[in-house]
Amino acid sequence: MKHLIDPMDLSIEELDNILNLAQDIIDNKEKYSEVCKGKKLATLFFEPSTRTRLSFEAAMMELGGNVLGFSSASSSSSAKGESVGDTVKVVSCYADIIAMRHFKEGAPMLATMKSDVPIINAGDGGHNHPTQTLTDLLTIKREKGRLDHLVIGLCGDLMFGRTVHSLIKALSRYEGIEFVLISPDELKIPDYIRTEVIEKNNIPYREITSMEDVIGELDILYMTRVQRERFFNEADYIRLKDSYILDNSKLALAKSDLSILHPLPRVNEIAVEVDDDPRACYFRQALNGKFVRMALIMTLLGLEA
Amino acid sequence: MNIDSIQNGIVLDHIAAGKALQIYNDLQLDKLDCSVAIIKNVKSRKMGRKDILKIDQEIDINLDVLGYIDPDISVNIIKDGKLIEKKKIELPERLVGIKKCTNPRCITTTEQGIQHIFKLTDREKRIYRCIYCEADK
């Protein structure tokens, strides 16, 4: 049985198949409207989420399937002290596939050891968020027509930003990738991502603190939010939350074909004025998230149109 | 200083000087009721100084623990006063129930009954990572 816990769980071939399937779903929506008829997706969200959970649920509904689940730990049995393992074991009796978000890192990995149905990691603390990575890859592929030979700037909270970690891992397998890591010193990427992913694959990278200095070199600018929920210390959050704000004046320094991505939700790191710029891809990216999750659900359930 | 030879048991030789007590604790040798000799700072041609542990009983040694601490340790099995086997140890691919993950964000800190498991991710640098959160040990 196949799960998706880490973006590296998928080979490049499997990844390409999912992205191609997602594109076919976009082009031929009717063909897929009953593929999951009679199937149930359980969304176990121990940590609140809007777009990821709704995206999963919309994806399953558009495939003709049904959804069940909960949207916070307080409305689940974990509030009564039930373990993650027991919750998953029970839910796997009711559903054909599980999408799980948890504030503790590694919870979905634990779930794979207890579940009788495929588990999709829908985000585990500051660790991984592989379906956001699939969304990001589909967006880059649709915007740029390729996943290789790109200069990719990642900006903001690179330490706790799980989407960043997952995206770096996934892109590190493609040729001609260069990373520009833009963050305050306190929020640099974790050592293990730098040494065991970027350096191990001999990928050129720079760690810098000024967005303006490099924005003109980038093909992709991946913005992230400084996440309040990842800080143990409120004072550190307040000090760092406004480190980078992308507005039209900074965007004026960028290439005309730059693609701006953001996993959303945004707070104020991208000024609203940027939304009208054709280089802003983040709302198209959110739409892509639904299609790629449709492709993933079909793949893990072994279904074809 | 002389320590009597053992008749039936195990001699852990070529332990890096100062590591014998850690091995004694990690292998839980304090729970044995046989004689155990901890010999520290023995002169060694190869190592300069080394530690030795002599266990006067045939027991099952957890080679993963030893391999994790130091894969260069020699494990000598003694029977009837003679060396009958030298066990080769190496860095284990996985550490199961040997070390605990210290990442406060890891699921292992809250889930009851979960087994702490680490996998070897860099043999050269001897880096192990928690299979759940990927924090290193």
For the residues A150-171, what does the mean pLDDT come to?
92
Q: What is the mean pLDDT of chain A?
A: 93
A225 an active-site residue? no
Alpha-carbon distance of B80 to B131, in angstroms, equals 43
Share of chain B above pLDDT 90, in %: 66
pLDDT of residue A117: 98
- Asked if the model's pLDDT at residue B2 lies above 70, the reply is no
Question: Which of B127, B132, B136 has the CB atom closest to A109's CB atom?
Answer: B132
pTM for the full model?
A: 0.86
The residue annotated as part of the active site, out of A101, A169, A241, A293, is A101
Q: Place A229 in a pLDDT band, splitting at 50, 70 and 90.
A: low
- Asked if the model's pLDDT at residue A282 lies above 90, the reply is yes
Nearest CA distance, B83 vs chain A (angstrom): 42
Q: Place A20 in a pLDDT band, splitting at 50, 70 and 90.
A: very high
- Asked if the model's pLDDT at residue B132 lies above 60, the reply is yes
The residue annotated as part of the active site, out of A40, A43, A52, A224, is A52
Cβ within 8 Å, pair A110-B109: no
What is the residue extent of each domain of chain A? 7-129+286-301, 130-285
Alpha-carbon distance of A174 to A131, in angstroms, equals 18
Cis peptide upstream of residue A263 (ω within 30 degrees of 0): no
- Asked if the model's pLDDT at residue B1 lies above 60, the reply is no
Q: Find chain B residues with C-beta within 8 A of A127's C-beta.
A: 105, 133-134
Q: Find chain A residues with C-beta within 8 A of B136's C-beta.
A: 192
Task: Tell me what ipTM this predicted complex has.
Answer: 0.84
- Asked if the model's pLDDT at residue A17 lies above 60, the reply is yes
pLDDT of residue A230: 61
Q: A130-285, superfamily in CATH?
A: Aspartate/ornithine carbamoyltransferase (3.40.50.1370)
Cβ within 8 Å, pair A110-B111: yes
Cβ within 8 Å, pair A85-B114: yes
Per-residue tokens: B4: 């009597």
What is the rounded (10 degree) CA torsion for A180, A184, A186, A190?
-10
pLDDT in tens, A108-145: 999 999 999 999 999 998 888 999 999 999 999 999 99
* Of B39, B46, B30, nearest in space to B12 by CA: B39
Q: Place A191 in a pLDDT band, splitting at 50, 70 and 90.
A: confident
Alpha-carbon distance of B63 to A270, in angstroms, equals 54
Q: Count, in order, helices (H) and strands (E) of chain B.
A: 2, 8
Cβ within 8 Å, pair B130-A106: yes
**Closest residue, chain B, to A85 (C-alpha):** B111
Q: How many CB atoms lie within 10 A of CB A153?
A: 24
**Closest residue, chain B, to A193 (C-alpha):** B134
pLDDT in tens, A62-79: 999 999 998 877 767 776
* Of B9, B7, B2, nearest in space to B54 by CA: B9
More confident residue, B91 or A161: B91
Question: Which of A85, A103, A125 has the CB atom closest to B111's CB atom?
Answer: A85
**Closest residue, chain B, to A83 (C-alpha):** B111
**Closest residue, chain A, to B122 (C-alpha):** A196
CATH number for A7-129+286-301 (one of 3.40.50.12780, 3.40.50.1370, 3.10.310.10, 3.40.50.1100): it is 3.40.50.1370
8 A C-beta contact, residue B86 and residue B63: no
In sequence order, what E strands does chain A have? Answer: 40-45, 66-70, 97-102, 119-124, 151-155, 178-182, 205-208, 220-223, 259-261
More confident residue, B114 or A241: B114
pLDDT of residue A236: 75
Share of chain A above pLDDT 90, in %: 77
Exposure letters B89-126 (e unless 16+ CB within 10 A, then b)? beebeebeebbebebebbbbbebeebebbbebeeeeee
Rounded to whole angstroms, what are the CA distances from A39 to A34, A207, A251, B12, B59? 10, 46, 45, 58, 53
Cβ within 8 Å, pair A83-B111: yes
Alpha-carbon distance of B115 to B122, in angstroms, equals 22
pLDDT of residue A178: 98
In terms of average pLDDT, the best of A78-87, A140-149, B73-82, B98-107 is A140-149
For the residues A277-297, what does the mean pLDDT come to?
97
CB pairs under 8 A between A and B: 56
A53 an active-site residue? no
Q: Place B107 in a pLDDT band, splitting at 50, 70 and 90.
A: very high
A80 an active-site residue? yes
For the residues B12-32, what does the mean pLDDT come to?
92
For the residues B11-18, what does the mean pLDDT come to?
94
Please name the residue that has the structure tokens 């069940």.
A68
Cβ within 8 Å, pair A104-B107: yes
User: Among A9-23, A221-235, A258-272, which is the least confidently predicted range?
Assistant: A221-235
Cβ within 8 Å, pair B133-A127: yes
Share of chain B above pLDDT 70, in %: 96
Computed on alpha carbons and rounded to an integer, the radius of gyration of chain B in Å comes to 17
Q: Which residues contact B131 (CB under 8 A, 6 or more apart)?
A: A106, A109, B117, B118, B119
pLDDT of residue A252: 97
pLDDT in tens, A27-58: 999 999 999 999 999 999 999 888 899 999 99
Residues in chain B: 137
pLDDT in tens, B27-80: 989 999 999 999 999 999 889 999 999 999 999 888 888 999 888 999 999 999
A133 an active-site residue? no
A52 an active-site residue? yes
8 A C-beta contact, residue A37 and residue A301: no
- Asked if the model's pLDDT at residue B3 lies above 70, the reply is no
- Asked if the model's pLDDT at residue B109 lies above 70, the reply is yes
Alpha-carbon distance of A191 to B100, in angstroms, equals 20
Evaluated on CA atoms A243, A246, A248, A254, the torsion sign reads positive
* Chain B interface mutation, best of A6, A83, A105, A113, highest count of B Cβ atoms under 10 Å: A105
Q: Place B88 in a pLDDT band, splitting at 50, 70 and 90.
A: confident
What residue spans of A48-92 are helical by DSSP H?
51-62, 84-91
Residues in chain A: 305
